[in-house]
Amino acid sequence: MMPVGTSSAQRLVLNIGAAPIALYIEDPSFADLMRERYGDFVEAQGPACAEVEVQLAEAQSGDPDQEMQVVRDGRLWRMERGDLRAEFDSDTNRGVIRQTANPYAIDSALRVIHTLLLSNQGGFLLHAASAIRNDKAYVFSGVSGAGKTTIARLAPPDATLLTDEASYLRPEDGGYFAYGTPFAGELARIGEPAKAPVEKLLLLAKGPENRLDRVPTSAAARLLMRNILFFARDAAAVARVFNSACDFVARVPVYVLTFFPSPEVWNLIG
Amino acid sequence: MSATYIARSSAIAARNLGGEMMIMSALDSTLFSLNPLATAIWEAADGLTPLEDIVRQRIVPVYEVEEPVAQRDAAEFVEKLARHRILVVSDEPIPNPSLSSTA
C-alpha cells in the first residue's frame, strides 16, 4: 500500500453521508475538476474517516464501461476496471486510486469504499432516487428503467433532491436516514448534501394509474436485497448487508408505488 | 439405514421476518425463504439429533402429516439446502457445529 498524501498533494475532503473521505490529489488541474464535479460535497478542511491518494495514469487495457471487479485479499480490497485500479485497506481506511483523468471514473471506486464503510455501520447504498419533502425522506428504488429519474423529475418545487441514482442509507436515532449523494443518473444533476429520516421506501413500477401497496416485511427484504449496491463476493460482508436490509425493513415501511408519469403521483407519496 | 445428522452452516445469515425465516448464503448470495415446516427443521438442526427423529418429534405431530411423506419431504429439503452449503449433513453426529445465530 502506498503512503497516502505527499507534501505537494492537495487535500480535498469529500463529505458524503457524514463519512468524509480525504482525497490527496497531486495534479492541480484534476483537483479543480474534482471540486467542480462534487460541488457542495467538497470541504476544504476537516477530519476524515478515510484517506485516499488519487494518481492519474493511462487507461489499462479493457473496456472502461465494464463492471468493476472487486476482490478481497486479506484486509485489502482491490478494484479494477479498464480506466481505474484501486486498493483500499479496510483496517486502516487508507487507499490509493490510479485512474484516467475522467472526473467520473472515481465515482465507482468511491461507491465501493462507501459500501465498505457503511457495511460496518448497518448502512448501505441503494440503487434508488431519494428526495426530502416536509423534513422526511422518500426513497424510490428500482432497476434501470424503473422510473427513478422520472420520479425525480416530477418532484414538486418544495422537494430537495438527494439523488436520482444511488441513495445513501444508514441507521440513526432508531430509524434510517437518507443522505444526499453526488452520484447522478440520467438526470445528470448531483444531489443536495442534506439528510432526513426515511419515511417510506417505494419500489417503483410503471402502470396506468397511481397506487400504493404495502409490501410484507419478508418480501420487502427480498426485494430490497436485489437493489442494494454491493460489489464483493465476501461472505462476511454479504452477511452484514443482509442483516442491514432486514433491520431496514423492520424499521421503515415498504410499498410498491405503481405510477403513471404525471406530477399528481407526488400527492400519493407524501 | 443410517441416520442423517444436520447442522446449520456458519456461512449464512438468517433472520425471522414477520414469522418467515429468511436465510442468505454468504457464499453465493442465494436467498431462501422457509415455510413453517422447513423452519421447524432448520431450527432443530443442532448436529446431534438425527433428521428422522426431528421429523418424527417436531413435524408429524404438529403438522398432521403422514410420517413417510414428511420424511421424504424433509430429505429433499435438506438435500437442497446442503447443495447451497446452508446445512451441513453427515451420517455421524456433528458435535461442534459452527451454528449461526438467528434473530
- The CATH number given to whatever domain includes residue A209 is 3.90.228.20
The answer to whether residue B28 sits within a structural domain is yes
Is the reported ipTM for this assembly greater than 0.90?
Answer: no
Contact yes or no for A94/A1 (Cβ under 8 A): yes
The domain boundary residue, chosen from A90, A119, A148: A119
pTM: 0.86
Nearest-CA distance A245 → chain B (Å): 10
pLDDT of residue A150: 92
The answer to whether residue A20 sits within a structural domain is yes
Q: Among A119, A215, A241, A246, which would you mutate to test the B interface (most chain B Cβ atoms within 10 Å of its Cβ)?
A: A246
Residues spanned by the domain of B26? 5-85
Mean pLDDT along residues A107-133: 93
The answer to whether residue A1 sits within a structural domain is no
The answer to whether residue A247 sits within a structural domain is yes
Size of interface A-B (CB pairs under 8 A): 45
Q: Residue A210 gets which letter from DSSP?
A: -
The answer to whether residue A2 sits within a structural domain is no
User: Looking at the structure, do residues A63 and A133 belong to the same domain, yes or no?
Assistant: no
User: Looking at the structure, do residues A88 and A211 belong to the same domain, yes or no?
Assistant: no
pLDDT of residue B1: 61
Q: Among A70, A217, A231, A241, which would you mutate to test the B interface (most chain B Cβ atoms within 10 Å of its Cβ)?
A: A217
pLDDT of residue A188: 79
Residues of A in contact with B31 (CB under 8 A): 222, 225, 242
Residues of A in contact with B13 (CB under 8 A): 238-240, 242-243
Do A250 and B17 lie within an 8 Å CB cutoff?
yes
Residues spanned by the domain of A174? 124-269
Do A239 and B22 lie within an 8 Å CB cutoff?
no
- Of B71, B63, B22, the residue nearest B42 (C-alpha): B22
Mean pLDDT along residues A90-106: 92
| Residues of B (73-102) whose Cβ lies below 8 Å from A | none
Mean pLDDT along residues A65-94: 89
Do A235 and B31 lie within an 8 Å CB cutoff?
no
User: Looking at the structure, do residues A170 and A226 belong to the same domain, yes or no?
Assistant: yes
Contact yes or no for A225/B31 (Cβ under 8 A): yes
Q: What does each C-alpha distance from A146 to A139, A191, A217, A261 come to in angstroms?
A: 13, 19, 21, 11
User: Looking at the structure, do residues A115 and A218 belong to the same domain, yes or no?
Assistant: no
- Answer yes or no: is pLDDT of B103 > 50: no
| Residues of A (225-254) whose Cβ lies below 8 Å from B | 225, 233, 235-236, 238-240, 242-243, 246, 249-250
More confident residue, A65 or B73: B73
- Of A253, A244, A177, A247, the residue nearest A215 (C-alpha): A253
